[in-house]
């Protein structure tokens, strides 16, 4: 296979990291400038008290929250793909999304079932229940797979757990139809309700997950060479796998709790990084996280601005963009296979 124009060196990774940083900063400014009437002039807001309040209390936390949620999903996707040595793995693979969604449904029931209940439901409680659901789903998958050593068995167990927990959530929606509408919005994904408290929770979870993934990245590098090679390196694979699964559950659960189910970000972000640079997992998890943040923030800006003053669910935008990206990727691979 021909090498990519960007060589597999640390300078290439640094240039990509700088590009993602500049892109994220530009998107943050654009996200603050996009409102219900489309793109607005940012430099006018210091002279308008109402505009200041809208930007500080609504647009800025929503924009920052979109980046943080995408960063969590990109990080979780990089961990999942490295852990299972499968480029099609995504953060929702082990049923963690279904578990988090079930936790969200239970939170809505406890809040009275109405969307307005989210106004008084503490965001930390919502995140805590979603994380408990995600962690519970991963734990059930581990129990069914009898540990984390058998990757294929764990994947199959995750699929089963996801289907079962999804069915339980559907049953709750049928039994309590008052939560059907907010759960529908939850399933489509949205950053509209993200505030400063949610940003603080996601930032804390992101820093914790990033630090843990960084320290456990040696296991991902070892597993990329095969189970036998990883074991020969003397790594405590069982403990490191469990730590990576905890990172996967926390990152996914936190993002899903605050923004709902958003497709393709966790799958596409690591793919895009690998298509540009070839670096060890310690670097790739950081780059995939930054890529995920930029992708979701860009999608959120499109969701707000395309049909302004109406707004598309951001999960619909990411599904359209992510599906198109995968189709292009499949077409390019087919062309390469035919050429060879």
pLDDT (tens digit per residue) in 145-194: 876 566 678 888 888 999 999 999 989 888 888 888 878 887 888 888 89
| pLDDT over threshold 70, residue 129 | yes
Do residues 288 and 273 make contact, with C-beta atoms less than 8 angstroms apart? yes
Do residues 132 and 292 make contact, with C-beta atoms less than 8 angstroms apart? no
CB neighbour list of residue 247: distance below 8 Å, 6 or more residues apart: 75, 76, 79, 209, 212, 213, 216
Mean pLDDT of 134-152: 79
Q: Where are the beta strands (DSSP E) in the chain?
A: 34-35, 38-39
Which tokens go with 271?
């793919």
Residue reference for tokens 């210091």: 46
pLDDT digit string (tens) for 263-304? 889 999 999 999 899 888 899 999 999 999 999 999 999 988
Assess whether the previous peptide bond of 64 is cis (omega < 30° from 0): no
The packing angle between helices 314-339 and 180-188, to 10°, is 40
Do residues 99 and 137 make contact, with C-beta atoms less than 8 angstroms apart? yes
Between the ranges 67-76, 182-191, 240-249, 322-331, where is the mean pLDDT highest? Answer: 67-76
Q: What does the alpha-carbon distance between residue 158 and residue 140 come to, in Å, rounded to a whole number?
A: 8
| pLDDT over threshold 90, residue 84 | no
Do residues 110 and 232 make contact, with C-beta atoms less than 8 angstroms apart? no
**Cα angle 172, 178, 184; round to 5:** 75
Nearest alpha carbon to residue 101 among 122, 130, 73, 128: 130
Which tokens go with 190?
């949205």
**Adjacent-strand bridge partners of 39:** 34
Q: What does the alpha-carbon distance between residue 249 and residue 99 come to, in Å, rounded to a whole number?
A: 10
Q: What does the alpha-carbon distance between residue 130 and residue 169 come to, in Å, rounded to a whole number?
A: 13
pLDDT digit string (tens) for 49-58? 777 777 888 8
Between the ranges 8-17, 109-118, 331-340, where is the mean pLDDT highest? Answer: 8-17
Do residues 23 and 294 make contact, with C-beta atoms less than 8 angstroms apart? yes
């Amino acid at each position: 296979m021909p090498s990519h124009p960007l060589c597999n060196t640390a300078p290439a990774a640094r240039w990509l990291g700088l590009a993602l940083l500049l892109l994220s900063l530009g998107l943050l400014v654009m996200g603050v400038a996009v409102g219900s009437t489309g793109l607005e002039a940012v430099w006018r807001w210091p002279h308008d008290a109402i505009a200041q309040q809208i930007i500080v209390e609504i647009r800025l936390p929503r924009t920052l929250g979109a980046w943080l949620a995408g960063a969590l999903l990109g990080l979780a996707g990089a961990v999942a793909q490295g852990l299972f040595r499968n480029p099609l793995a995504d953060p929702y693979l082990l049923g963690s999304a279904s578990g988090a969604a079930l936790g969200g449904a239970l939170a809505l029931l406890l809040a009275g079932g109405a969307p307005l209940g989210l106004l008084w439901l503490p965001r930390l409680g919502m995140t805590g229940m979603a994380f408990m659901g995600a962690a519970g789903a991963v734990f059930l998958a581990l129990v069914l797979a009898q540990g984390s050593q058998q990757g294929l068995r764990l994947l199959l167990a995750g699929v089963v757990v996801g289907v079962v927990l999804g069915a339980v959530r559907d049953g709750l929606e049928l039994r309590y139809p008052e939560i059907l509408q907010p759960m529908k919005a939850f399933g489509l994904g949205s950053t509209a309700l993200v505030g400063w408290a949610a940003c603080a929770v996601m930032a804390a979870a992101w820093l914790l997950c990033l630090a843990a993934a960084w320290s456990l990245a040696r296991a991902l590098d070892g597993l990329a060479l095969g189970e036998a090679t990883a074991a020969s390196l003397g790594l405590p694979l069982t403990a490191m796998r469990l730590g990576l699964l905890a990172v996967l559950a926390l990152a996914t659960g936190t993002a899903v709790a605050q923004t709902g189910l958003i497709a393709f970000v966790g799958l596409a972000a690591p793919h895009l990084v690998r298509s540009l640079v070839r670096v060890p997992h310690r670097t790739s998890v950081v780059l995939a996280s930054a890529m995920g943040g930029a992708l979701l923030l860009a999608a959120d800006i499109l969701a707000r601005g395309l049909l302004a003053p109406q707004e598309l669910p951001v999960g619909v935008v990411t599904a359209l963009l992510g599906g198109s990206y995968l189709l292009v990727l499949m077409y390019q691979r087919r062309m390469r296979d035919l050429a060879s």
